[in-house]
Amino acid sequence: MRRSRSAKKAWRSMEKYVYHEFMQEPDSMALDLARRLADAVATGHRDEAVRLTRELEAQLTETGRNQHPAGHLPSFAAPPTVVPVTKRPRSTRSSRRAITEALAEIGVPCRARVLADYVHARSGERIDTRAFAAVRRDERQAWIKSSARPVFIVPALEGRFFQPVRGLLSLSDWPLERRLIGPWSERADHLAATVQLARQLAWLSARDTTAGERLAPVVAEMARSIPGAVDGQEVDTARVGTAAEAEHAALAQRDEPWRREAAARAREQLSPEQQLWGASIGIVAEGSR
């Protein structure tokens, strides 16, 4: 009889149970019952399956082979040993510092998920992406209180009205051009970040293989949307870099002049505070539709 895939699966499981677990030698009647039971389960005949189960139990009880041998627990026999207790290593730097360093290394505005993945790949530390909102708030408060921080984590600004883009983080010491987001900027920044991370991966792989192994899937994921950058399960950093740079060069021809023009407008229109934290638009009067 030709069996369906589920019937075969059920039968293999049942065979293992009946044959290997309880029997020293095969019991043809029990095996036949188990086979019919597996078929009944796979075809959904519940009543038949229940009846066959009872019969199988009775058969195994009769032959006295369905009892677990005493002390059937798995054995981990080994000589006694002394194991030192060490606490899980904790990071000595704060989330803020980790984010700042990650942004400085990547060099373009990034989203929380990319930063969290990068920090984990580089140092093994996990940053909860929910913590980013608190970091953003704290940064603004620190700036208002004139904190002596050398650099602040600030939002990127959309380039039309210079309002903050909350999901994209940047550093206050970057030039305004780099912190502005225009119609080509998100893709251009993604490509620039991929080039940078591919370079880092090449460098890390020669010095810290563990970190390199952690960074490789991050680079692969970022490069997946770049035509011709990755193929299969390996990351060729040179290939990723070349493909990303080629696409970046084409986009940069449009993105960079746009950013320069927007930055000039921003310097003209915005106060130093607004250049860091963004402007807000007040509606004075609603125009016609």
Partner 1 sequence: MVRRRTPPDPAVEAALARVRGRAPQMRPNVRRLAAFAGVHSCPTAAVAFAARIDTDRLLAGTTAEMPFGQSPFAIGRGIAFEALLRKHGHAELRRVLSDGLGVDFSLAAIENLREGYQPNRHGLLVRASVTRGRMAEIVSNPDEPVVLDGAVLRADVGGLPAFFEADEMAIGVNGEIIVGENKSWPVVDGRPTDEELLGAALDQAATYILLGRRTLEQSGIDPARISSKAVLVTPRNTGLAPVLHRQEVGSRIRRVDRLLRGVPNVNDIAASVPPSATFDRIADASLAEEARLDAFGEVTEELGRVYEPAACLTSCGLAWACRRCVFAFGGPALAGGHIAHALPGVVTLVRVAQLGRGAPPSPAEAPTAAPIARAGRLYDEVLPPGQPAQQRPA
In the complex, the residues that contact partner 1 under the rule CB under 8 A are 157-158, 160-161, 163-168, 181-184, 186-191, 222, 224-226, 247, 250-251, 254, 280-283, 285-289
Cα torsion 224, 228, 233, 237: sign? negative
Nearest approach, Cβ of residue 224 and partner 1 (Å): 8
Which tokens sit at 183?
Answer: 């119609």
Which tokens sit at 71?
Answer: 């002390």
If the CB atoms of residues 149 and 166 are measured against partner 1, the closer one turns out to be 166
For residue 234, give the DSSP letter. B
The rounded distance, in Å, linking the Cα atoms of 262 and 179 is 11
If the CB atoms of residues 59 and 185 are measured against partner 1, the closer one turns out to be 185
Nearest approach, Cβ of residue 152 and partner 1 (Å): 19
The rounded distance, in Å, linking the Cα atoms of 169 and 115 is 9
Residue 238: its H or E element: helix 237-269
If the CB atoms of residues 177 and 189 are measured against partner 1, the closer one turns out to be 189
Nearest approach, Cβ of residue 117 and partner 1 (Å): 13
If the CB atoms of residues 17 and 184 are measured against partner 1, the closer one turns out to be 184
Nearest approach, Cβ of residue 128 and partner 1 (Å): 18
Q: Contact at 8 Å (CB) between 219 and 234?
A: no
Nearest approach, Cβ of residue 262 and partner 1 (Å): 12
Order of strands, edge to edge, in the sheet holding 110-111? 110-111, 164-171, 153-158, 180-181
If the CB atoms of residues 14 and 216 are measured against partner 1, the closer one turns out to be 216
